[in-house]
Chains A and B, each alone.
Chain A
């Protein structure tokens, strides 16, 4: 019997060596790769996200855990069947036009990826038209907009408006985040949700999918 708890524990304690060992042992024991991914790794990253949200884990630890997970995903990839890797919805994430900050947004992308979502990270300084185009291309169900500056917050509203105008509003949930952004602002511009940190953003995205 594979002990998936040990796997999540290794992940939460950022012990890459132990985690790799356990994943390899589970493969040897005949556990399906998708089960290892879901019950061991993704479950572990869910705990990491929660701990981050509660202030029990911090960015360097989250990055370490994600790196450990990434290494194990590489091991599992050749063993996963078609479509098994990306179990979740398609997510588009980017920093809005005029804003070049990407640290927070990259953390969110990483946490969502670790939660099993198919994340398309568009980068920084993304125009409303570009967001709209990518929603179509990637058949996105969730769109995440990031801004660090008060001066670029209006670009969030413009992006939401562009999504409405393109007739895609019913297809997607729109999430916003970044230092100056609040729930009140999210409501004001017609976004679906606001998340204060990467852990809660990932949780919110999953709640939209389930």
Chain B
């Protein structure tokens, strides 16, 4: 089953930033409840946008969200100190968003992750920047899996993000990431593939149709998770339908439930 990481609690979104600044708990609680109802498997929490306030904002968000949340959180920060504080506050083993091969981030994150019970989003980014080929993505994924295995993170807890890049700047960017996902899944069947999808449509009109079509292609290649807005009904309907078509939905029950609930329309 596809796992949606709900992306909405992010202070770079204007409405959320205002709610966090005003300590408007009702707004945050309501949003989290909606994401859960819509089928999110994790709630991502990012408090990075109000510069200088990340620690206090993250603390307040976790205090606010946890009483109403029955699913694990995805703790989203590049700062291990923030993650350490947040990790100590969560009730369920969280997802950590994220580690990468960029030296500074890698060296800071590895001691933090060592021996911890958590899932990890692993970005195929290194100090040379975004990957330039599918081999490049595979190579970085392999290094990340190997290094994380060494410190006790099982492969099944690793969510590789192959880094989707805009197709507007080079028409082969879609195929590049699809090929990479197939190769990663062939080599590490247990690993999860996740990431943001909307980069694919950057610079083009009618982005939602691109994102929706792309998610079904990525699912065929082996993507089994994504960081998206679970309140976007159309992409959720596409994901449910693709999950069924790929044989992940016994007796098509989730699809049928979705249709009866009015969440899936043709």
A interface residues, Cβ below 8 angstroms from B: 55, 58-60, 63, 98, 100-103, 107, 124, 150-151, 153-154, 180
Highest count of chain A CB atoms <10 Å: which of B48, B129, B166: B129
Point out the residue from A55, A63, A100 that lies within 8 Å of B169, measured CB to CB.
Answer: A63
Establish whether residues B48 and A150, one from each chain, have CB atoms under 8 Å apart when the complex forms: yes
Point out the residue from B49, B130, B165, B203 that lies within 8 Å of A150, measured CB to CB.
Answer: B49
Establish whether residues A60 and B129, one from each chain, have CB atoms under 8 Å apart when the complex forms: no
Point out the residue from B49, B78, B130, B168 that lies within 8 Å of A60, measured CB to CB.
Answer: B168
Neighbouring B residues of A98 by C-beta, 8 Å: 104
Decide yes or no: A151 and B205 within 8 Å by CB, A59-B166, A100-B130 being known contacts.
no
Neighbouring B residues of A63 by C-beta, 8 Å: 168-169
Decide yes or no: A55 and B48 within 8 Å by CB, A103-B166, A103-B169, A151-B78 being known contacts.
no
Neighbouring B residues of A103 by C-beta, 8 Å: 165-166, 169, 202
Interface string of B97-128 (1 = CB under 8 A from A): 00000101000000000000000000001010
Q: Looking across the interface, which residue of chain B has its beta carbon closest to that of A185?
A: B51
Instruction: Confirm or deny: B30 has a beta carbon within 8 angstroms of a beta carbon on chain A.
Output: no
Chain B at the A interface: mostly helix, strand, loop or mixed?
loop
Neighbouring B residues of A55 by C-beta, 8 Å: 205
Establish whether residues A60 and B204, one from each chain, have CB atoms under 8 Å apart when the complex forms: yes
Q: Looking across the interface, which residue of chain B has its beta carbon closest to that of A100?
A: B129
Smallest CB separation, A92 vs chain B (Å): 20
Establish whether residues A100 and B166, one from each chain, have CB atoms under 8 Å apart when the complex forms: no
Establish whether residues B203 and A59, one from each chain, have CB atoms under 8 Å apart when the complex forms: yes
In the complex, besides A102-B129, A103-B165, A103-B169, 18 extra interface pairs with C-beta distance below 8 angstroms are A58-B203, A58-B205, A60-B168, A60-B169, A60-B171, A63-B169, A100-B129, A101-B129, A103-B202, A124-B129, A150-B11, A150-B12, A150-B49, A150-B51, A151-B48, A151-B78, A154-B51, A180-B49
Establish whether residues A59 and B204, one from each chain, have CB atoms under 8 Å apart when the complex forms: yes
Neighbouring A residues of B166 by C-beta, 8 Å: 59, 103
Neighbouring B residues of A58 by C-beta, 8 Å: 168, 203-205
Smallest CB separation, A130 vs chain B (Å): 16
Decide yes or no: A60 and B205 within 8 Å by CB, A150-B12, A151-B78 being known contacts.
no
Neighbouring B residues of A153 by C-beta, 8 Å: 51
- CA A124 to CA B129, docked complex, whole Å: 9
Neighbouring A residues of B204 by C-beta, 8 Å: 58-60
Neighbouring B residues of A60 by C-beta, 8 Å: 168-169, 171, 203-204
Smallest CB separation, A187 vs chain B (Å): 15
Smallest CB separation, A176 vs chain B (Å): 14
Establish whether residues A100 and B125, one from each chain, have CB atoms under 8 Å apart when the complex forms: yes
Neighbouring A residues of B78 by C-beta, 8 Å: 151
Smallest CB separation, A201 vs chain B (Å): 14
- CA A34 to CA B178, docked complex, whole Å: 46
Q: List 22 A-B contacts (CB under 8 A).
A: A58-B168, A58-B204, A58-B205, A59-B168, A59-B203, A59-B204, A60-B168, A60-B203, A98-B104, A100-B102, A100-B127, A100-B130, A101-B130, A102-B129, A103-B202, A124-B129, A150-B12, A151-B48, A151-B78, A153-B51, A154-B51, A180-B12
Smallest CB separation, A164 vs chain B (Å): 19
Neighbouring A residues of B130 by C-beta, 8 Å: 100-101
Decide yes or no: A59 and B49 within 8 Å by CB, A100-B130, A102-B129, A150-B12 being known contacts.
no
Q: Looking across the interface, which residue of chain A has its beta carbon closest to that of B125?
A: A100
Smallest CB separation, B3 vs chain A (Å): 24
Q: Would you list the 6 A-B pairs with minimal beta carbon distance, nearest first? A: A59-B203, A59-B168, A100-B129, A150-B49, A150-B48, A60-B168
Neighbouring B residues of A102 by C-beta, 8 Å: 129
